[in-house]
Amino acid sequence: MMRMIRRLLIGKPLHNRELTHERLPKWKALSIFSSDALSSVAYGPEQIMLTLVAVPGLLAYGYMGPVAISILLLLAMVALSYVQVAKANPSGGGAYAIAKKNLGEYPALIAAGSVFADYVLTAAVSVSAGTAAIVSAFPALAGHQVIIDLTVLFFVLTMVNLRGVRESSNAFVFPTYAFLLGILALILTGVYQALTHPITAIPAESVVRQQLDWTILFLVLRAFANGCSSMTGIEAIADSVPMFKKPEAKNAVATTYWMAGILAVMFTGITFLTMHYHILPLNDVTVLSQISENVFGRSPAYYYIQITTMLILYLAANTAYNGLPILLSIVAQDGYMPRYLATRGERLTYSNGIILLTIAAAILIIVFQGETGHLISLYAIGVFISFTIAQSSMVIHWFREKSAGWQGRALLNGIGATVTGLVVIIITVTKFIYGAWIILVFIPIMIFIFKSIRSHYNSVAKQLSLPLEDIQDAAIDGPSDHIVIVPVSTPTRVVFETLKYAKVIGNRVFAVHIASDEKTAVKMRKKWATWQPGVELVILHSPYRLLMRPLLHFIEKKEREKRPKDFITVVIPEFETKKWWHRLLHNQTGWILRTSLILKKKIIVTTVPYHLDE
Amino acid sequence: MMRMIRRLLIGKPLHNRELTHERLPKWKALSIFSSDALSSVAYGPEQIMLTLVAVPGLLAYGYMGPVAISILLLLAMVALSYVQVAKANPSGGGAYAIAKKNLGEYPALIAAGSVFADYVLTAAVSVSAGTAAIVSAFPALAGHQVIIDLTVLFFVLTMVNLRGVRESSNAFVFPTYAFLLGILALILTGVYQALTHPITAIPAESVVRQQLDWTILFLVLRAFANGCSSMTGIEAIADSVPMFKKPEAKNAVATTYWMAGILAVMFTGITFLTMHYHILPLNDVTVLSQISENVFGRSPAYYYIQITTMLILYLAANTAYNGLPILLSIVAQDGYMPRYLATRGERLTYSNGIILLTIAAAILIIVFQGETGHLISLYAIGVFISFTIAQSSMVIHWFREKSAGWQGRALLNGIGATVTGLVVIIITVTKFIYGAWIILVFIPIMIFIFKSIRSHYNSVAKQLSLPLEDIQDAAIDGPSDHIVIVPVSTPTRVVFETLKYAKVIGNRVFAVHIASDEKTAVKMRKKWATWQPGVELVILHSPYRLLMRPLLHFIEKKEREKRPKDFITVVIPEFETKKWWHRLLHNQTGWILRTSLILKKKIIVTTVPYHLDE
């Protein structure tokens, strides 16, 4: 039954040889790896604006331009640094792998914790932003955001990924280019309109920059920090160099430039239009939706923008499903996470990692009520920590390798590490109380968990390893005795069957009867005389009507008598009732006995199952 | 730890020979068996009055006298009938035992169900009435009735009865006589005051009887029905004849007369004073408390009455603890209830029955919020059904026995059966919607449960019985083979220990390894060559990475090959981790395997426990 439902939803098991690796052309790779980065223009500029106009009386709208320009410069810097990463690591691998190779265990674990946090946030942020796009277009859906988010998470993303879709599927190509096309058309139309029909209604104060005091500076820096969320996903290409067609590194570098260029154009355009139309935050309507409505009205073009935005955002959430389970499997192979995260499920997907990601993202969405703005406060810090670690690793890499032109490359990555490290500090300071502290608490906790798991696995491996001399010692030990104890209350068919088994497995079998009065003892002896089961009957008197204690005493006595290599097995005669409620009508002695014996180190407990037919 | 707490609360186990039977003198028996009946004057007259004045504009106070007189006549009738029961059943036994002997299974089960319901109600009603008495005296306790009720139920009644106090303890003698003394003093003083200082303030209408139309008649009959709750417990003496000193029957009869006489005097007195002082219902103050305050003021005498009332009521609740567990043990011995209700616990008490009663009474108290009035609506119907069955049984008894003067006795019991049967009908009709229906639904459900349990036990006994010829057949069957299958994933110390055990218990041992790729298969074969464990290694290839299915197929193949008398055991190598969370880090394959195999009828599953030290 359960299996049928699973087959229906997930599909039948796949053979090992069905695991394939396809090489991607640039145009396909661009669409697949850039959905996370490109889709962030749907919430990045909005988050900058929101922060700048959030405090009444402190309208800092005029600073939107400078903030946007800083982000563009940062984007260029990070893209250039990652081009170096792509060139130096043709085998791919994210910040964890690079840091492990160049910087050692702790930086690698910090990177792993940061990337873990950010993949989960990518899923949560992208899903909720995608839902926001569609709710903006169809206001009737307002108020049901969390339900929509969870439905997409469980029934689309999780199901599809458990089935295991090929990353190279064309289904992933279409939304990215459709979105790209829509946004470029929107920007071109918007800019054309702005040039031909200048709006005169822009309030004068909106372009005035207020005096830059400490409060305003803090606000501006926080806007910058929130805007940095647009840059998540930029590392995706460098992490996946081996998936490109030959020459891999060259193609990956070209694709990175393309992605950064497109992102820069879209980001600039959206920011310009936000300022031009003087968009202000509205409940349940995104900034992109407002711009699009201003440019196109509620025309089919408007709905096209909203729907492709939704699609690319859900696709961006899917990149977390492509990335995190693989990261977890690498970390698990190194023994820092539970081993079962490292093995592929029956559909060749890392199903345990997929389920873990879904649960974590669902918790975030529920706790933050699907509000993109609130989730953004936690976002980006992890990404920039991993950027910093990756760039620092590269510096070490160049110093070690000392290949041609290594000084220039080391300098570039050094600047990259410094800048992204600075961004980490800015994000930490400006967003600390808004949620960044959660990530800064989470990462050390994860490192502690990673280390604890690793040390447990090491200790188990040591305890379970078996040196050859132990085997040879065991070989000359000679045959073991096997003492079998069968507790018997009433002599029934079940006891008879159990005794037959006991005689097969052991050479010294004792049937032990606990008699609370002489009457049952006599009855038992009589039955034994009739049965002649060939097993010694031991009657223990228990005038206090205790069952466990005399039996345990007997077992302990036998334990003291036996040689170290001998085994003691307790075989409990028990029957399985046909209906569950019938269990309530029988003594749970077998169960109690098993529970009390399970704690004894050297006793083996077993049951010969006897199933009642009625 | 758990054991220490239990020892402290319940005491150490008692030896079988500590089970004693003490014969009671009349004065002691009276106090012990009559607490239930006598204490009911604390709520019986109150319930009559409450019903008569409950409907505004329908004040039927004037009918209190006639209702009280009817109840006194009924009391006399029932007492006389039960004297016959005491004479005819010197061995004691309640309605269930008498009905089983004379009327057959179904009437006996009806009686058992009715008495079950009424014992639970006795506990619930008496505890809540006792709490009402003490809350009347100390108004600060008002609002905490349910908590007080449950505290008394769990920490006094249950604890004391689990420890097992002798029924004959003097602790039970004192409250009854103290209460008796107090109430008699109250009645004498009250009547004296009434004669010497007639109150003139009684409203004229209070003694006027309204026209007896159908509405009033219904109300009066319901008042009568509620008043019948005073008669519960009257059968206690007749059920316990063997506990009296010789001559048992004669002493029991005399005690019954005494009890009925005292009850009649107290009931009359309290009813008279209720009418004289024209007591009306008050929240959180009982009628008895109002009378006592009118007579004594808030003097020490008043507090004496309230406290002794509380004591005798809690003692009356205790009679349910004396009666129900014994009834359940008799019914369980006959196979109508779970067997473990029939055996004495370590303190020689029927501890399971005691716990069952506590839980049932606690549920009633919580559901009815400790309101005596609401509980009374369910009360008495069960008692009168059991009265009717007991009296009818006696009629049959006399007809069968035909001893000297049997016609007179049969007539007396026949009248008793008719009158109590009539009361059952009155209670059913007048209290049906107020709660009697609950009992009338409960009894058939109980009968269904009784019958189902009995039929299950019968069927199990038949299935488990072992005819001698089966034993002889088994004897000529010859020795059995024992096939042992050990699933092996990684060759570790645990596997090595498990294989040693497997070789001891079986003569055909297979180590089965599921290889998802050729690499692990090769590694496994190599290890086997080094180990030379003397066990055949079977490698099953599973390119779909499924574990259970190939293993189950292998087991099923072996199952088909074996002879009927051969056994198959699967020994699962598993280690016990030291800390609970370590479990999360290991595959639960062992557990899953055990769960899937437990449903297979003929496979024995066992584990050689290997405990990790770290």
List of chain B residues whose C-beta atoms are within 8 Å of the C-beta of residue A614: 459, 463
Average pLDDT of chain A, as a whole number? 86
Instruction: Please indicate if any CB of chain A lies within 8 Å of the CB of B340.
Output: yes
SS3 of B195-215: the string is HHCCCCCCCHHHCCCCCCCHH
Could you say which of B465, B584, B598 has the minimum Cβ distance to residue A338? Answer: B584
Cβ atoms of residues A583 and A502 within 8 Å: no
Instruction: Please indicate if any CB of chain A lies within 8 Å of the CB of B599.
Output: no
Could you say which of A459, A492, A603 has the minimum Cβ distance to residue B466? Answer: A492
- pLDDT for A442: 93
Q: How far off is chain A from B558, nearest CA to CA, in Å?
A: 18
Query: d(Cα B232, Cα B375) in Å, to the nearest integer?
Result: 14
Binned at pLDDT 50, 70 and 90, residue A60 comes out as low
Cβ atoms of residues B126 and B313 within 8 Å: yes
Residue B517 is given by DSSP the state S
**Digit-coded pLDDT (tens) for A276-332:** 888 888 888 899 999 999 899 899 999 999 999 999 999 999 888 888 888 899 899
- pLDDT for B194: 85
Q: How far off is chain B from A153, nearest CA to CA, in Å?
A: 25
Burial B217-255 (b: 16+ CB within 10 A, else e): eebbbbbbbbbbbbbbbbbbbbbbbebbeeebbebbbbb
Question: Environment class of residue A64 by beta-carbon count within 10 Å: exposed (0-12), middle (13-18) or buried (19+)?
Answer: buried
Query: d(Cα A185, Cα A191) in Å, to the nearest integer?
Result: 10
A471 vs B343: CB contact, 8 Å cut-off? Answer: no
Mutate to test the interface with B, among A12, A334, A460 (most CBs of B within 10 A): A460
Quote the crossing angle between the two packed helices A44-53 and A287-296, to the nearest 10°.
Answer: 100
Could you say which of A344, A496, A613 has the minimum Cβ distance to residue B466? Answer: A496
A545 vs B474: CB contact, 8 Å cut-off? Answer: no
**Digit-coded pLDDT (tens) for A468-500:** 777 777 766 677 889 999 999 888 888 888 998
Cβ atoms of residues A574 and A607 within 8 Å: yes
Cβ atoms of residues A42 and A309 within 8 Å: yes
Mean per-residue pLDDT, A434-445: 91
For chain A, the residue count is: 614
pLDDT at A166 over 70: no
Q: Which of residues 541-580 of A touch B (CB under 8 A)?
A: 543-546, 567, 569, 575, 577
pLDDT at A139 over 70: yes
List of chain A residues whose C-beta atoms are within 8 Å of the C-beta of residue B602: 609
Q: What tokens does A188 get?
A: 């071109």
Closest residue of chain B to A604, computed from CA coordinates: B608
What CATH number has the domain spanning A479-611?
A: 3.40.50.620
* Nearest residue to A567 via CA among A604, A601, A600, A537: A604
Instruction: Please indicate if any CB of chain A lies within 8 Å of the CB of B584.
Output: yes
pLDDT at A535 over 70: yes
Q: Which of residues 492-511 of A touch B (CB under 8 A)?
A: 492-494, 496, 500-501, 504-506
Give the helix ranges, DSSP H, for B228-350: 236-239, 248-276, 287-296, 300-333
* Nearest residue to A207 via CA among A278, A288, A270: A278
Instruction: Please indicate if any CB of chain A lies within 8 Å of the CB of B278.
Output: no
Residue A434 is given by DSSP the state I
A465 vs B516: CB contact, 8 Å cut-off? Answer: no
Q: Which of residues 98-137 of A touch B (CB under 8 A)?
A: none
B456 vs A582: CB contact, 8 Å cut-off? Answer: yes
Closest residue of chain B to A506, computed from CA coordinates: B505
Residues whose CB is less than 8 angstroms from the CB of residue B182 and which lie 6 or more positions away in sequence, other chains included: B301, B304, B305, B308, B309
Task: Work out how many CB contacts closer than 8 A connect A with B.
Answer: 161
Instruction: Please indicate if any CB of chain B lies within 8 Å of the CB of A356.
Output: no
A339 vs B460: CB contact, 8 Å cut-off? Answer: no
Could you say which of B464, B531, B604 has the minimum Cβ distance to residue A471? Answer: B531
Bridge partners (DSSP) of residue B512 are B487, B538
Instruction: Please indicate if any CB of chain B lies within 8 Å of the CB of A338.
Output: yes
- pLDDT for A519: 86
**Digit-coded pLDDT (tens) for A85-121:** 888 877 777 889 889 999 999 999 999 999 999 999 9
* Nearest residue to B295 via CA among B324, B272, B322: B272
- pLDDT for B401: 86
A545 vs B346: CB contact, 8 Å cut-off? Answer: yes
- pLDDT for A291: 92
The number of angstroms, rounded, from the C-alpha of A374 to the middle of its chain's C-alpha atoms is 20
Cβ atoms of residues B515 and B524 within 8 Å: yes
List of chain B residues whose C-beta atoms are within 8 Å of the C-beta of residue A329: none
B614 vs A584: CB contact, 8 Å cut-off? Answer: no
Cβ atoms of residues A186 and A305 within 8 Å: yes
H helix or E strand, kind and range, residue A390:
helix A381-401
Any idea which fold A23-455 has?
A: Amino acid/polyamine transporter I (1.20.1740)
- pLDDT for B208: 63
pLDDT at A130 over 70: yes
Dihedral of the alpha carbons of B131, B136, B140, B146, in degrees to the nearest 10: 30
pLDDT at A613 over 70: yes
Query: d(Cα A414, Cα A434) in Å, to the nearest integer?
Result: 30
Q: Which CATH class is domain B2-14+21-453?
A: mainly alpha
Mutate to test the interface with B, among A356, A504, A566 (most CBs of B within 10 A): A504
- pLDDT for B200: 56
- pLDDT for A111: 94
**Digit-coded pLDDT (tens) for A513-526:** 998 888 888 988 98
Residue type, A186: L
Residues whose CB is less than 8 angstroms from the CB of residue B335 and which lie 6 or more positions away in sequence, other chains included: B453, B454, B457, B458
Query: d(Cα A357, Cα A140) in Å, to the nearest integer?
Result: 30
B504 vs A340: CB contact, 8 Å cut-off? Answer: no
Could you say which of B453, B492, B545 has the minimum Cβ distance to residue A464? Answer: B492
Binned at pLDDT 50, 70 and 90, residue A29 comes out as confident
Cβ atoms of residues A281 and A1 within 8 Å: no
Give the helix ranges, DSSP H, for B347-487: 351-367, 372-376, 381-401, 406-431, 437-464, 468-475
Q: How far off is chain B from A491, nearest CA to CA, in Å?
A: 9
A346 vs B544: CB contact, 8 Å cut-off? Answer: yes
- pLDDT for B509: 93
**Domain spans of chain A, in order of start:** 23-455, 479-611
Binned at pLDDT 50, 70 and 90, residue A7 comes out as confident
Instruction: Tell me yes or no: is domain B480-611 CATH 3.40.50.620.
Output: yes
Query: d(Cα B443, Cα A44) in Å, to the nearest integer?
Result: 70
Q: Which of residues 506-535 of A touch B (CB under 8 A)?
A: 506, 516-517, 530-532
Bridge partners (DSSP) of residue B532 are none
pTM score of the predicted model: 0.73
Residues of chain B short of pLDDT 50, as ranges, are none
Closest residue of chain A to B574, computed from CA coordinates: A464
pLDDT at A180 over 90: yes
A605 vs B604: CB contact, 8 Å cut-off? Answer: no
Could you say which of A345, A456, A516 has the minimum Cβ distance to residue B16? Answer: A516
Residue type, A82: Y
A606 vs B605: CB contact, 8 Å cut-off? Answer: yes
- Ramachandran sector of residue B158 (left: φ over 0; alpha: ψ -120 to 50; beta: rest): alpha
List of chain A residues whose C-beta atoms are within 8 Å of the C-beta of residue B339: 585-587
Q: How far off is chain B from A99, nearest CA to CA, in Å?
A: 25
B608 vs A604: CB contact, 8 Å cut-off? Answer: yes
- pLDDT for B520: 84
Mutate to test the interface with A, among B466, B532, B586, B592 (most CBs of A within 10 A): B466
Could you say which of A343, A500, A604 has the minimum Cβ distance to residue B609? Answer: A604
Cβ atoms of residues B348 and B166 within 8 Å: no
A339 vs B586: CB contact, 8 Å cut-off? Answer: yes
pLDDT at A193 over 80: yes
Cβ atoms of residues B590 and B487 within 8 Å: no
Residue type, B472: Q
Q: How far off is chain B from A157, nearest CA to CA, in Å?
A: 23
Question: Environment class of residue A165 by beta-carbon count within 10 Å: exposed (0-12), middle (13-18) or buried (19+)?
Answer: middle
B546 vs A13: CB contact, 8 Å cut-off? Answer: yes
